[in-house]
Amino acid sequence: MTDYIAAFTTLFVIIDPIGLTPLFVALTHGASAQLRRKIALRACITAAVILFCFGIFGEALLGFVGISMPAFRIAGGVLLFLTALEMLFQKRQTRRQGHTDDAAEDHIDDPSVFPIAIPLIAGPGAIATMILLTDQAEGIGGFAAVMSVMLSVLLIVFILFLVSNMLERILGRVGVNVVTRILGMLLAALAIQFILDGLRSFGLAP
């Protein structure tokens, strides 16, 4: 149960559904409620397929290119820590907003695949997290638990997308910033734990 909660917390923080909702509003501005539902569903399904594939084949891909899991665990921890710093200093939202601007400049009518599914939901951090979590999972039951965690987080993303206008009005810009910083602190601690686990595999940490 503790591992399940830790996996859920890690993936929830790195995907950051609350931080995604204002961007979803911006990308679907002027769209009807029905079209927003279609975009939200398509984006979440696409992200689920991407994360599922990396969860299954990610470790094999690392082995093919000669990267050990402890090394990837350290690299993933560093990546998550940098993401946490961006969240704490509000740089992540600015970078994500840049993706929305790129989409607008390219006149993309359907933003579900780019930039919502990739890279806003299934970005490098989420992909690295899936590989790390599936590596730590024990047996088929553990793997199924990780996949259920991923689907649970994406279900939350989908629900928040559907109520994004209302949520943004309730929290306001200040509320979103506060929640983002709290999640950033949690992610920083989880990232350090990944790094320590990797160093422990090399005998460099107690």
Per-residue confidence (pLDDT) for residue 69, from 0 to 100: 79
This prediction's pTM? 0.75
Lowest mean pLDDT among 55-59, 76-80, 179-183: 179-183
CA angle 161, 89, 185 (to 5 degrees): 75
Per-residue confidence (pLDDT) for residue 167, from 0 to 100: 73
Q: Are 111 and 166 in contact (CB under 8 A)?
A: no
pLDDT in tens, 89-148: 866 556 555 655 555 544 446 789 988 898 889 988 899 899 999 988 888 988 999 999
Structure token digits, residue 148: 């259920």
Domain map (residue ranges) of the chain? 2-201
Structure token digits, residue 191: 């990232």
Concatenate the DSSP letters of all residues of 32-69 into one string. Answer: -HHHHHHHHHHHHHHHHHHHHHHHHHHHHHHHHTT--H
Q: How far apart are CA 129 and CA 182, in angstroms?
A: 19
